[in-house]
Chains A and B, each alone.
Chain A
Amino acid sequence: MVEIDGMKLVQTRSILHYIADKHHLFGKDLKERTLIDMYVEGTLDLLELIIMHPFLKPDDQQKEVVNMAQKAIIRYFPVFEKVLRDHGQRFLVGNQLSLADVILLQTILALEEKIPNILSAFPHLQEFTVKISNIPTIKKFLEPGSKKKPPPDDIYVRTVYNIFMP
């Protein structure tokens, strides 16, 4: 839940869209916005697997890493690699930073924590990762001391269970 502009916003997508809209990260018109939307939705499907991973039974966790890697490499990364290759621009949509770039970077970095060479077959995504990481605001967020949260550990898992499943 995010308190912003006198509202208490809930639901991840509602919050993301509100902030993206407000801060000009959602394209210049409806068509660009929809392209960004499609890219974000696909990426979030992949990110969801990462988010749920710590809550799987230990026996299932290793299998799921394989599943995540397959989905990333076969279904999602080829789409974004092609987009970047085809237009040769730095950002996914409309030659400017958008929510699609931010969410994709987040997802790539989270996947690299589990599968370090996940981008080995995707040169344009490798370049993308470097370029977007170097944007000043994002670079700052990636440095120690920012509000970015560390990878999930056992304490995190236990805390979530205690709060949501007492």
Chain B
Amino acid sequence: MLEAHHLLQEEKLESLGMARKPKLHYFNGRGRMESIRWLLAAAGVEFEEELFETREEFEKRIQEGILMYEQVPMVEIDGMNLVETGAILRYLAAKYDLYGRNLQEQAWIDMYVEGLKDLSDMIMFFPLSLPGEKKMNLEYILERATTRFFPVYEKALRDHEQDFLVGDQLSWADTQLLEVILMAEECKPSVLAGFPLLQEFKARISYIPTIRKFLQPGSQRKPPLDEGSIETVKNIFKFERGMFLKNMGTIVAEY
């Protein structure tokens, strides 16, 4: 009953043109929420954030019953509490016309973003490496980026000679690729050295007004994890060091 009432409120607000802004629930860092921030920003959608610093604040949300699998990211939007990063991103991409014009284009966008997720997961978990593993993991990340992933996107741009990855219009695939390029450059500034079209792509997509705004200081974009933030994240989610290899699943099978 409570949910129905809540939904009615939401619809009333929407009909009055006063729809609430999406509200993001996460810790104060990039993690898995950052791609969601990117997509909302690129679509020009203003959003609010409820960022927690402690385990207690996280557990409070679990107690409130608003996290389907007791996990975050969670985004309150359109009367729903959306969870699971992929599901959230796909909802936003569809809602804001960043998911292609038809099923075929959607499949291409899906393939590109799923590939990029493999790479961005590696970079995301890198700060959780054990000190002795750091150099090896970094080399592995850069090797994968430059031999498996970037060549795919360079080729896509070379083959169709268009400004965007899919369907000659901005899509989630473009924002995801830009995000991952910038993350990779934080690992190694010259990582795009062999990829002239990706360099142009980076400049071009960064220049889109909504994205340019997101890339400026003062936006809701989060900085990379530093030693202090790692401790906070560890305490909230009870991570361990050495989780890099543990989380790399199928990727480690080739390592």
Which residues of A are in contact with B by a Cβ distance under 8 Å? 5, 7, 9-14, 17-18, 21-22, 30-31, 33-34, 37-38, 40-42, 45, 48, 52, 55, 75-76, 79, 160, 164-165
B111 contacts the other chain (CB 8 A): yes
B95 at the interface (CB under 8 A from A): yes
- A10 CB to closest chain B CB (Å) equals 6
A31 and B115 CA atoms in complex are apart in Å by: 26
Cα distance A40–B86 in the bound complex, in angstroms = 10
Can you report 27 residue pairs joining A to B where beta carbons are below 8 Å apart?
A5-B104, A7-B104, A7-B107, A9-B111, A10-B114, A11-B115, A12-B114, A13-B86, A13-B114, A14-B107, A14-B111, A17-B90, A17-B106, A18-B107, A22-B103, A31-B78, A33-B94, A37-B87, A40-B87, A41-B87, A42-B68, A42-B69, A75-B70, A76-B69, A79-B69, A160-B253, A165-B253
Among B97-141, those with CB < 8 Å from A are 103-104, 106-107, 110-111, 114-115
B115 surroundings in chain A (CB, below 8 A): 10-11
Tell me which residues across on chain A come within 8 A of B159, comparing CB atoms: none
Beyond A11-B115, A18-B107, A18-B110, whether A48 also contacts B86 by CB under 8 A is no
> Interface of B with A (CB < 8 Å)?
68-70, 78, 80, 82-84, 86-87, 90-91, 94-95, 103-104, 106-107, 110-111, 114-115, 249-250, 253-254
Q: How far is the CB of B125 from chain A (nearest CB, A)?
A: 15
Is there contact, CB below 8 Å, between B86 and A41? Answer: yes
B86 to chain A, nearest CB (A): 6
A21 adjacent to B103 (CB under 8 Å): yes
Query: Do B103 and A164 have beta carbons less than 8 Å apart?
Result: no
Give the CA-CA distance A13 to B110 in the complex, in Å: 8
CB distance from B74 to the nearest CB of A (A): 10
A37/B84 in contact, CB under 8 A? yes
Chain B residue at minimum C-beta to C-beta distance from A79: B68
> Smallest distance from the beta carbon of B88 to chain A beta carbons, Å?
8
The 5 A-B pairs of least Cβ separation, nearest first, read A11-B114, A41-B84, A14-B110, A37-B87, A34-B91
Residues in B neighbouring A45, C-beta threshold 8 A = 69
Q: Please name the residue on chain B nearest to A45 by beta carbon.
A: B69
A37-B70 in contact given A9-B111, A13-B110 (Cβ < 8 Å)? no
B255 (CB) vs chain A CBs: closest residue: A165
Task: Please indicate the chain B residues that have their CB under 8 angstroms from the CB of A160 in the complex.
Answer: 253
Q: Which of A9, A37, A38, A165 contacts B107 (CB 8 A)?
A: A9
Q: Is the CB of B110 within 8 A of A38?
A: no
Cβ-neighbour of A34 out of B70, B80, B106, B253 (below 8 A): B80
Q: Which residues of A contact B250 (CB under 8 A)?
A: 52
Q: Indicate if the CB atoms of B111 and A11 lie closer than 8 Å.
A: yes
B38 → chain A, closest Cβ, in Å? 19
B156 CB, min distance to chain A CBs, angstroms: 13
